[in-house]
Amino acid sequence: MRIRTKGQGQELAMLLPALIFITALIVVPFLLSVWFSFTDQRLVPRPIPTKIIGTTNYERMFADPLFWQAIGNTVLFALIVTPVQLAMSLGAALVLNSAIPFRGFFRSVAILPLLLPMTVIVSIWAVLFRIPSGPFNAIYQWFAGSGNYVDFLGNPSTAMLAIVALSAWATFPYQMLIYLAGLQDIPQDLYEAARLDGAKSWQRFRYITWPGLRNVNIFLLIITTVGALKLFTQVDILTKGGPNGATTTIIHYLFKQGYATQKIGYASAVAVFFFLAVTAIALLQRRVLKNEGEA
Amino acid sequence: MMRIPRDAILPALFALVLALGVLLPLLMMVTISLNPNEQDIMVSMGSVRSFIPHAISLQNYIEVWTDPVHPFGRYLANTAFITFSTLLLSILFNSMAAFVLAQGTLPIRKPVMILILATLAVPGESLVLPQLMMAGWLGQVDTYQVQIVPGVANAMSIFLFYQFFARLPKELIEAARIDGFSFFQIYRHVAMPLSKPVISAIAVLQFLEIWNAYLWPVMVTRGPEFRPLSVAMSAYFGTNQAAWGNIMAFAVSMAVPVVLFFLILQRQFIASVMSSGVKG
């Protein structure tokens, strides 16, 4: 009994540090943020004490057109970037999984964007998008004639698409590596059998590869969507949410209201909404995709 | 000449396009960074010349490294210190906790495990404002610890360690116990030496996450003293919009150490991303 107690004391000592960190840095802030969302909490203490204001923050939030614009932009970004990025990464994985020469070299090159800090990627793409004569505009001028240019980041109708392109380029290697792992899990003898039966490469993809990647697809669809909902860095550095709010995302809105404008109570309502939305979307996707697979 | 099998021609062409799509922007970054003539950079931006190094000078680099307003060396040291401290503490504390949860006898293991799984669902972005308030109450804004400590609380890391430790053979743990090892000694001398693949997977992923962190450091740093590279890069980019040569030199200086580090560890890097994905 003595030994056991001593062992458990050791166990407690080993468990406590992580438990304290998780509690103090995730659980407590989470509860605080729910609490703040019902108060008029400010970032810097004021002479007037903070008071509970019920659901006023939520009412204001739902009445703010910029909030709805931020939601619309975030959803639009996720809806475009997710399929684009998954298609890009699956294509890259298929290519880098086939018997091409210098495969190792090509794989190393393809993972480079994942290693670059987003701030670096943003500065490179700022040059690519430059007006009037950055590389993309130079290509545009081939078709549209010299003197014409597109202000990719300054035009509300192209700014979000520009951020989609940048973001897909920046993180596709992550999904690509996971697709590569998925491809390697598909038994090779299925392909040999199909080849013997005379299946064309498209048919092998359609009937072996695609079904074989089912779980990988579900996993990637969820993490790519959830990742897209957190869009912030690119927007903050490149467009500051503009032009005319065209690239304001939920996190950028939260950041502006909470940090720049210091309205912690109000921004906490946005944070709570964000948490609920992300959880709901992830659960919904998982459920829909699981059911579809079983049917 | 190398012979390419017929059904590899199309994939090889696609691979080439893919490689160009990745390399051309990077080549442009390097070319511009080596060009000391801002006028020439502007003129060549819309032509093929912006991708071919035609002026080779380290002037932009020297300017970036010796800029008194933006001390590059200080930023680099800050980022390195923050990243390695976070990693060290995170791996130590999270693996210990995971070992207790997977192999221990404490009765509170179940509720703790449920708590940890629940926190996995909370996006870090929704916690930054209350964390900022707490840092303010404790007088910890603009320090190293405010950038290190939040990264140590990592439920995903506990979860990945837990999955590994739960699968350790029972006989192994039993044998160590019979040999008179205490619980901590089993963790230290049996479990940890076996978990090198998990440690490297977690280390690699967390390394990139912390090295590239932006939202939290923007909020908690005020000046160059404790500021990491990512925030400095964005500030530099914002205030020197006309100096593309210098901005690109800053970008290259920031990217090269990380890229080299990971290309050397390429095999482990790929393995860790893959395993993190499959285990999810």
Q: What is the pLDDT of residues A4-49, one digit of tens each?
A: 556 688 999 999 999 999 999 999 999 999 999 999 988 887 777 8
The DSSP output letter for A44 is: S
Query: Percentage of chain A with pLDDT > 70?
Result: 96
Residue A174: closest CA among chain B residues belongs to which residue? B273
In the structure, what pLDDT confidence band is assigned to residue B279 with cuts at 50, 70 and 90?
very low
Rounded to two decimals, the ipTM of the complex is: 0.89
Q: Which two tokens stand for residue B177?
A: 């116990």
Mean pLDDT in residue range B205-218: 92
Instruction: Please report the pLDDT score of residue B3 as a whole number.
Output: 64
CB contact (8 A) between residue A21 and residue B105 = no
Interface test with A, best of B125, B250, B279 (most A CBs within 10 A): B125
The pLDDT of residue B240 is above 90: no
Helix (H, G, I), strand (E, B) or coil at A52: strand
In the structure, what pLDDT confidence band is assigned to residue B276 with cuts at 50, 70 and 90?
low
Instruction: Please report the pLDDT score of residue A1 as a whole number.
Output: 41
In the structure, what pLDDT confidence band is assigned to residue B183 with cuts at 50, 70 and 90?
very high
Q: A39 phi and psi, to 5 degrees?
A: -125, 175
Q: Please name the residues between 5 and 24 in chain B that touch chain A, using a CB distance below 8 Å.
A: 5, 7-8, 11-12, 14-15, 18-19, 21-23
* Dihedral sign computed on CA atoms, order B92, B94, B97, B99: negative
What single-letter amino acid sits at A251?
I
Helix (H, G, I), strand (E, B) or coil at A71: helix
Q: Please name the residues between 56 and 75 in chain B that touch chain A, using a CB distance below 8 Å.
A: none
In the structure, what pLDDT confidence band is assigned to residue A143 with cuts at 50, 70 and 90?
confident
Instruction: Please report the pLDDT score of residue B82 as a whole number.
Output: 97
pTM comes to 0.90
Q: For A155-183, how does the pLDDT look when each residue is reduced to its tens digit (9 = 90+)?
A: 998 999 999 999 999 999 999 999 999 99
Of B97, B86, B88, the closest CA to residue B165 belongs to B97
CB contact (8 A) between residue B274 and residue A177 = yes
Of A244, A255, A282, A281, the closest CA to residue A73 belongs to A244
Burial label, B160 (beta-carbon count in 10 A; 0-12, 13-18, 19+):
buried
A259 vs A51, A267, B135, CA distance in Å?
A: 20, 9, 13
Torsion on CA atoms A151, A157, A159, A162, rounded to nearest 10: -90
Of B220, B131, B133, the closest CA to residue A29 belongs to B131
| Residues whose CB is less than 8 angstroms from the CB of residue B103 and which lie 6 or more positions away in sequence, other chains included | B165, B166, B168, B173, B183, B186, B191
B11 upstream amide cis, omega within 30 of 0: no
Of B128, B79, B117, B2, the closest CA to residue B233 belongs to B79
Mean pLDDT in residue range B49-70: 88
Residues A50-75 as b/e (b if ≥16 CB within 10 A, e otherwise) read: eeebeeebbeebeeeeebebbbebbb
What is the rounded distance in angstroms from the CA atom of residue B144 to the CA atom of residue B223?
Answer: 12
Strand partners, A39: A52
Residue with tokens 């993490």: A223
CB contact (8 A) between residue B123 and residue A278 = yes
Shortest CB distance from B22 goes to which of A28, A113, A178?
Answer: A113
Query: Percentage of chain A with pLDDT > 90?
Result: 65
